[in-house]
Structure 1
Amino acid sequence: MTDLSELSSLETLQSLPLWLENEKLVSTEPAGASNMNLVLRVKTNLRSVILKQSKPYVRKFPQILAPIERIEIELCYYQLIEDDEILADYSPKVLQYNPDNHILLIEDLGNGKDFSDIYELGYHWKPNDLRSISNYLNALHNLEVSNFPANLEMKKLNHEHLFHFPFMEENGFDLDTIQPGLQEISMKYKTDEELKSALELLGKRYLSHGITLLHGDFYPASWLKTDNGIKFIDTEFAYMGDCEFDLGVLFAHFDLSKMDQRHQEEFLKNYKHRYVEDLVNRYRGMEIMRRLIGIAQLPLSLSLDEKESLLEKAKNYILSL
């Protein structure tokens, strides 16, 4: 395997069996701040493409091991939806896959920007954006799928950071480096046995096999604003599970961004798939808590008091109070 980095030379990249006849590489640069994988924008004399390479660890946190085969899950996901007229329009096209180097070459969607700015004060949603999000989830959750990979190793990795690590009393992550006072507030939940028991049960459900194809990491950094509308990317966490998981994660980020309730109601008017509200809320509470007291932090515009209030709300969601 050729182990690439942001500093890999054009000569190294050119030597890979990825390119068209007479195609010469011109330039390369990082394509966004990917958490999981190396992602490069490669420009040639013929086109511009996105090169993704998975490693046996998480790119943003190299100390965290991760299954290198996750790039195959992303490939399977894109191949599965490429014939669906709705989903295909919201996704990048796969150009080539090189299994020996765990590289996926996909369509360059241009200099798009993700939706991480929804956490900023005063963010204004465009109605078409919410409609695109609901249209995508509708189509995805209604897709009939019979042979998608279990993706169990990625689910185990995610499970650790969704249901376990944030709730360890001693995990080596000092939350006061994020916001002074947050560590003390977190201890109320790290020592709550009823909450941790409920999370353990929910985690077992997450690890089980379901009937609905999920994106698996459906949050604002996986939504891309482009000149051709919203696109949805980074599908290496995809799996067959509860539709309520994708919904719960989505709604948690509505909460974390202090979205106006009417926008959420508008989303639900457009989402047609049947779901169990209590289960949505349990996943929602988990996602809120892991984003506030886990390692996967966000650029939030929340005061300490607002985080404390949201943590209590999340606990009640998980306990279905």
Structure 2
Amino acid sequence: MVELLVDRIADVEGLLRANRWIDADESIRRLSVAGEGNMNRTLRVQLEKRSVIVKQSVPFVAKYPQIAAPAERILVEAAFYRCVSGYPEVANGMPRVIGFDAANAVLALEDLGHAADFTHLYRSRGNASAAAEHLPVLLGWLSKLHHLAVTDPIFENRAMRTLNHAHIFEIPFQRNNGLDLDGITPGLGTLAGTITADVRLKSRVSRLGDAYLGDDTTPVLLHGDFYPGSWLHAADDSVRIIDPEFGFLGCAEFDVGVLLAHLHFAGVSVHRNLLSRTRGFFLAAGGVVRGCRDPAPAAGCRSAAAHGRSRDQAPLDRARTQLGTGSLT
């Protein structure tokens, strides 16, 4: 298997040429790491007149090699892009796929240029206007995704869900999870001790974890990791969604809960008005995609940002971000 590494220009160029992702008269001028993602090897391939993004999954978390991860996750990501390709309202909110090489576990995508993710929200805590400005687009895209009629068994994505379950619902709530929490934030270790000793809280976390791993009665296609690191602000001022490798068929409240958790974590006040607007965006976006679910029964539960599991999932995701390894992506 060809390895996507910045010092392997000849190998990477051979891979691109073999897949006809570059023309015979094109050659690589430079390879560089694209973005700050954790899970995969992702490179920007700079040619003379254009650039391409190539992404490869390996059997571990690229940033944390000691953490094993399913190498087949790239198959799920490729299937996700393929699944939404027939729905422009969803596909246009993501990078365009150039090609997929299953044998080398490599996905080639369009380069969005000088795009930045939304993790700046964490650094500019409380900047509600920056988040609110793009909230309609983010939630509109998410609602359209959740209304797609999808049954492909690849989206059971059991291996990735098992990995994510451990890092969301288990490790952050273990007394000795091997992390130097006080080294991250002074006093965090003491706070973690209080949380890990809370039997009632851990019982609720366990129930949510069971729901995450379980089979929902009316599952929808989820992004699976809908947080600021998966949102790109492109040079043309559009917002694009990336990294759907955690996608699976499940309960829509999970995606919404993760979104709300990270807005809160970034210091954006998640108050009643925002929850109401979130629900409104979901209702307004229902049924836009042709061939999707009937929005009438779906909208009531799929726009449940102010209810049940979304409300429970939000504080849980905040806790795992602070007490665990955070997002693996």
The bucket for the TM-score relative to the shorter chain is 0.7 to 0.9
- Who is 1:121 aligned against? 125
Map 1:2-17 → 2, pairs under 5 A = 2-5=2-5, 7-16=6-15, 17=18
- Who is 2:322 aligned against? 292
> Aligned partner of 1:121: which letter?
R
For the residues of structure 2 that align with 1:87 and 1:264, how far apart are their CA atoms?
Answer: 23
TM-fit CA distance, 1:223: 0.2
Of 251-260 and 84-93, more deviation after overlay is shown by 251-260
TM-fit CA distance, 1:137: 1.0
**Mapped contact 2:126–2:267 kept (Cα < 8 A):** no
1:274 aligns with 2:300: yes
Q: Give deviations 1:5-24, integer Å, cap 9, x for gaps.
A: 2x333212112123334132
Q: Give deviations 1:209-260, integer Å, cap 9, x for gaps.
A: 2311000000000000002300000010000000000011011112112214
**Mapped contact 2:57–2:71 kept (Cα < 8 A):** yes
For the residues of structure 2 that align with 1:206 and 1:263, how far apart are their CA atoms?
Answer: 25
Map 1:182-221 → 2, pairs under 5 A = 182-210=188-216, 211-221=219-229
Flag structure 2 segments of 5+ consecutive residues without an equivalent.
284-298
Q: Describe the SS at the equivalent of 2:134.
A: helix
Of 56-65 and 140-149, more deviation after overlay is shown by 140-149
Of 160-169 and 83-92, more deviation after overlay is shown by 83-92
- Who is 1:319 aligned against? none
The structure 2 residue matched to 1:164, chosen from 162, 166, 170, is: 170
Map 1:1-321 → 2, pairs under 5 A = 1-5=1-5, 7-16=6-15, 17-18=18-19, 19-22=21-24, 23-45=26-48, 47-119=50-122, 120-123=124-127, 124-125=129-130, 127-149=132-154, 150-210=156-216, 211-228=219-236, 229-260=238-269, 261=271, 262-272=273-283, 273-275=299-301, 276=304, 277-296=307-326
Count how many residue pairs are aligned between Structure 1 and Structure 2. 297
> Aligned partner of 1:287: which letter?
D
> Aligned partner of 1:293: which letter?
L
For the residues of structure 2 that align with 1:177 and 1:89, how far apart are their CA atoms?
Answer: 42
Of 254-263 and 179-188, more deviation after overlay is shown by 254-263
TM score, norm. by length of structure 2: 0.86
Q: Give deviations 1:30-85, integer Å, cap 9, x for gaps.
A: 11111110111102245311000011000111100000000111101111111112
What percentage of aligned pairs have identical amino acids?
35
For the residues of structure 1 that align with 2:232 and 2:136, how far apart are their CA atoms?
Answer: 14
For the residues of structure 2 that align with 1:14 and 1:133, how far apart are their CA atoms?
Answer: 35
For the residues of structure 2 that align with 1:125 and 1:138, how far apart are their CA atoms?
Answer: 21
> Aligned partner of 2:282: which letter?
Y
For the residues of structure 1 that align with 2:327 and 2:88, how far apart are their CA atoms?
Answer: 35
TM-fit CA distance, 1:122: 4.9
Moved over 4 A (4+): none
Of 160-169 and 142-151, more deviation after overlay is shown by 142-151
**Could you say if the C-alpha distance between residues 43 and 156 of structure 1 is closer, same or farther in structure 2, counting changes exceeding 3 Å?**
same
> Aligned partner of 1:85: which letter?
P
> Aligned partner of 2:139: which letter?
S
RMSD of aligned Cα (Å): 1.7
TM score, norm. by length of structure 1: 0.88
**Mapped contact 1:214–1:238 kept (Cα < 8 A):** yes
**Mapped contact 1:148–1:239 kept (Cα < 8 A):** no
For the residues of structure 1 that align with 2:227 and 2:314, how far apart are their CA atoms?
Answer: 12
TM-fit CA distance, 1:274: 2.6
> Aligned partner of 2:184: which letter?
I
For the residues of structure 1 that align with 2:55 and 2:64, how far apart are their CA atoms?
Answer: 17
